[in-house]
């Protein structure tokens, strides 16, 4: 089941002054902004894609996230090279709509603030062209494609969406999503993509970007394993 984040059919929460959210009901058209406050996508019910930062069961596809503890009062993403991971998570997608910290941190146990996750993986592009990405987070995050920063949503802030574009050719590509959670209160982490020729964002699901079966055992596909 593919979850579509239509700007005309789904409920949006628009960040207002960085402190509170005003709701825009389905049917209102919200243009993709070039600057200023960003709309925050929120999926009301996602039965086939439960919110999770990941599971501890290792997989050979999808995103591999390394978990780190960060110093209190951190205001930005850490330098991961200077930290030692305390665990690993695995997931096919990132879809945690804005939620209160009392609802729990899916996939993260005994830690509800001051942690960071650095996700990496490889995905296959079948249709070359310009891809648009939306990254929603609370607190900060960044999206890298082929070692280039495509979306910068860093900083300590409430749920906020930032956008970026990347021209991708057919073949295998590297992806990295860095995220950190500062103080308690609330969390969010959603990665969505708008494919060439389409008008809606969809959750970026690694299962829809796997290499063709004939390449699964190739050296290129093997390099995607965590």
Q: Exposed, middle or buried by CB within 10 Å (0-12, 13-18, 19+), for 46?
A: middle
Residue with tokens 């999926």: 43
Tell me how far CA of residue 164 lies from CA of 74, 75, 115, 157, 192, in angstroms.
25, 22, 25, 19, 11
pLDDT value for 60: 79
The CATH number of residue 215's host domain is 2.60.120.260
81-88 LR contacts (CB < 8 Å, sep 24+): 83/116, 87/56, 88/56, 88/58, 88/64, 88/226
Q: Determine the Cα–Cα distance for residues 155 and 7; give it in Å rounded to an integer.
A: 25
pLDDT of residue 52: 74
**Would 16 be classed as within a structural domain?**
no
Considering its fold, how many domains does the chain have in total? 1
What is the longest distance spanned by two Cα atoms in the chain?
50
Query: Rounded to two decimals, what is the model's pTM?
Result: 0.74
Could you tell me if residue 32 is inside a domain?
A: no
Average model confidence (pLDDT) for the chain?
A: 75
User: At 65, phi and psi to the nearest 5?
Assistant: -105, 130
CA distance 137 to 177: 11
**Does residue 44 lie within any of the structural domains?**
no
Give domain status of residue 39, yes or no.
Answer: no
Residue 26 resides in a domain: no
Q: Is residue 74 part of a domain?
A: yes
Is the link from the previous residue into 4 a cis peptide, with omega within 30 of 0? no
Q: What is the CA radius of gyration of the chain?
A: 17
**What is the rounded distance in angstroms from the CA atom of residue 45 to the CA atom of residue 194?**
20
In a domain, 137, yes or no: yes
Per-residue pLDDT at 110 = 63
- Residue 82 domain boundaries: 52-222
Nearest-angstrom CA–CA distance, 179 and 188: 10
Q: Across residues 181-204, what is the average pLDDT?
A: 88
Per-residue pLDDT, averaged over 17-29, amounts to 27
User: Region 111-132: what's the mean pLDDT?
Assistant: 91
Place of tokens 């929603």: 136
Q: Is residue 9 part of a domain?
A: no
Query: Phi and psi (nearest 5°) for 114?
Result: 55, 55
**Banded pLDDT at 131 (limits 50, 70, 90):** very high
Instruction: Please count the helices (runs of H) and the strands (runs of E) in the chain.
Output: 1, 15
């Amino acid at each position: 089941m593919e979850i579509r984040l239509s700007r005309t059919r789904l409920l949006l929460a628009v960040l207002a002054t960085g402190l509170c959210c005003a709701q825009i009901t389905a049917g209102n058209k919200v243009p993709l902004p070039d600057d200023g406050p960003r709309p925050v996508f929120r999926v009301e019910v996602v039965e086939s894609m439960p919110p999770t930062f990941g599971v501890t069961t290792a997989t050979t596809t999808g995103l591999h996230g390394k978990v780190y503890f960060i110093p209190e009062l951190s205001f930005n993403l850490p330098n991961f090279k200077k930290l030692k991971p305390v665990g690993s998570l695995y997931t096919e997608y990132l879809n945690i709509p804005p939620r209160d910290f009392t609802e729990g941190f899916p996939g993260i146990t005994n830690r509800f603030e001051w942690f960071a996750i650095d996700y990496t993986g490889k995905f296959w592009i079948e249709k070359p062209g310009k891809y648009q990405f939306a990254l929603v987070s609370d607190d900060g995050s960044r999206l890298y494609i082929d070692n280039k920063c495509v979306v910068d949503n860093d900083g300590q802030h409430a749920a906020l969406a930032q956008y970026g574009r990347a021209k991708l050719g057919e073949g295998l590509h590297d992806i990295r999503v860095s995220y950190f959670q500062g103080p308690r209160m609330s969390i969010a982490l959603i990665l969505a993509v708008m494919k060439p020729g389409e008008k809606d964002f969809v959750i970026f699901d690694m299962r829809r970007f796997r290499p063709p079966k004939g390449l699964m055992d190739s050296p290129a596909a093997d390099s995607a394993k965590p």
